[in-house]
């Protein structure tokens, strides 16, 4: 086992700050991942500096976010009015800000770079060559995977992003994949070197997300005590498929109205994001078209402690995404003792124990989702048993376990980087990187 351990890492998260509220805009599971692992690393004695783009003139250049964690807000482009699609044009400005911050420190200030998402990987690649330290990269989502499973009406990820991801995959010293599925996607779709991929499963805050009183949670949130509550948590966009849940629940709601049996109520928690910003009221309009507006409650994104109450109020949580590299919502809900109904895509097959802590649905046909919802809700005893097993399943996933695996990946990156540092005479690091990219490019599927 390697003893290599970074003293200080530069953690790059260009397009979204870990200090932002998850569930709206570009803030989501990646924010949670970055912040939670940064805290765990800091508790282990590793200094963490997080570089992210300033999105307000009120953002202080540096923020001491917690013991051992500094957030650096880099000015790159206008503070407002930019989304991820605009950010490639600002990578030069952002990279310059990152390099200037390092230039103010003594040589060897950072031991390692960990980039999150492909935009950050582009910055990390250049910083790696400038600083002479290894780069570890986590993609979080992959364009080729998303494009292979597009939701109806959603826009494909641009070729620019696919190529950018391929460059980062080729250059990173270690690649972090959430699951075996993602590892295989990196290999088959991006020609990644299998020997440079580490599987690091995300987790949940098991102290925050715990079982609790359903009645108390419903009273706090103003939800009907007598209903079967099915909950969606996440950004409101086609990729996450909240429309599938509403359409699938509608026949059940109508049926319960006709028979007088226990009503079904849908809870939607989140805000518009991505292509969902083009039609911010689309989900509200759909509920009206389906005639179920009175059986749907919409809440804005919630902070963690309040989100735990959202989960506790639910009979089950639905995760109908078209693509999901892991699915933190599924683990958080199960940690609260709530079973999950999820699409059998990406990492959700790991996050949910099919038949034990929840159910997986193949595909997104509305009829299949209606059948699955009815099956789970019509068997209260089985649903309660799944809830008990859900907590047991979630306890396998903690941020401490995630951090253990990250530190092992960092050690491998540092050891291999140190062993390979034999520079060619008269050739700059950037030239060497360009040559490596040129040699690998021909092997990469576009």
Q: Binding-site residues for UDP-N-acetyl-alpha-D-glucosamine, please?
A: 21-22, 29, 235, 240, 302, 324, 332
* Binding site members for 1D-myo-inositol 3-phosphate: 15, 26-31, 84, 117, 141, 161
Q: Which helix (H) or strand (E) holds 167?
A: helix 159-171
How far apart are the C-alpha atoms of 331 and 177, rounded to whole Å?
Answer: 17
Binding-site residues: 15, 21-22, 26-31, 84, 117, 141, 161, 235, 240, 302, 311-312, 314, 324, 332
Residue 200, both tokens: 């690091």
Q: Are the beta carbons of 269 and 232 closer than 8 angstroms?
A: yes
Measured between alpha carbons, how far apart are the two ends of the chain, in Å? Answer: 37
Rounded to an integer, what distance in angstroms lies between the CA atom of residue 261 and that of residue 253?
10
Q: E strand or H helix at 63, and its extent?
A: strand 62-66
d(CA 444, CA 446): 6
What residues are designated binding site for Mg(2+)? 311-312, 314
Which residue is listed with tokens 């649905």? Answer: 361
With CA atoms as reference, report the closest residue to 7 among 51, 52, 41: 41
Contact 414, 111 (CB under 8 A): yes
| CB 79 within 8 Å of CB 58 | no
């Amino acid at each position: 086992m390697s003893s290599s351990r970074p003293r200080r890492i530069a953690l790059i998260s260009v397009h979204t700050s870990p200090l932002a509220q998850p569930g709206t805009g570009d803030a989501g599971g990646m924010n949670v991942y970055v912040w939670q692992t940064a805290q765990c690393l800091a508790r282990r004695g590793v200094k963490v500096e997080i570089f992210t783009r300033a999105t307000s003139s009120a953002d202080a250049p540096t923020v001491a976010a917690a013991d051992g964690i500094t957030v650096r807000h880099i000015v790159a482009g206008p503070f407002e009015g930019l989304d991820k699609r605009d950010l490639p044009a600002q990578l030069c400005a952002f990279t310059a800000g990152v390099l200037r911050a390092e230039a103010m420190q003594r040589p060897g200030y950072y031991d390692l770079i960990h980039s999150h998402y492909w935009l950050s990987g582009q910055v990390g690649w250049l910083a790696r060559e400038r600083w002479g330290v290894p780069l570890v990269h986590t993609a979080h989502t992959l364009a080729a995977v998303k494009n292979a499973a597009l939701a109806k009406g959603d826009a494909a990820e641009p070729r620019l992003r696919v190529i950018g991801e391929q460059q980062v995959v080729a250059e990173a010293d270690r690649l972090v994949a959430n699951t075996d599925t993602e590892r295989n996607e990196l290999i088959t779709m991006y020609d990644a070197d299998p020997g440079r991929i580490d599987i690091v499963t995300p987790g949940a805050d098991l102290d925050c997300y715990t079982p609790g009183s359903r009645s108390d949670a419903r009273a706090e949130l103003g939800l009907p005590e007598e209903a079967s509550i099915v909950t969606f948590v996440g950004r409101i966009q086609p990729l996450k498929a909240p429309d599938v849940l509403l359409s699938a629940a509608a026949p059940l709601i109508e049926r319960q109205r006709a028979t007088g049996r226990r009503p079904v109520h849908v809870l939607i928690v989140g805000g518009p994001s991505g292509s969902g910003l083009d039609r911010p009221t689309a989900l509200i309009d759909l509920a009206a078209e389906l005639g179920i507006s009175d059986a749907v409650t919409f809440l804005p994104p919630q902070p963690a402690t309040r989100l735990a109450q959202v989960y506790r109020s639910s009979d089950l949580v639905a995760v109908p995404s078209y693509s999901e590299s892991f699915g933190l919502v599924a683990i958080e809900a199960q940690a609260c003792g709530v079973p999950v109904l999820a699409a059998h895509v990406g990492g959700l097959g790991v996050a949910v124990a099919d038949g034990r802590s929840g159910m997986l649905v193949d595909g997104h046909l509305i009829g299949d989702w209606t059948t699955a919802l009815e099956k789970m809700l019509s068997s209260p005893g089985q649903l309660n048993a799944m809830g008990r097993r859900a907590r047991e399943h979630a306890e396998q996933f903690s941020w401490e376990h995630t951090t253990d695996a990250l530190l092992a990946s960092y050690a491998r990156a540092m050891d291999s980087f140190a062993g390979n540092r034999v520079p060619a005479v008269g050739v700059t690091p950037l030239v060497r990187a360009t040559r490596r990219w040129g040699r690998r490019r021909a092997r990469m599927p576009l």
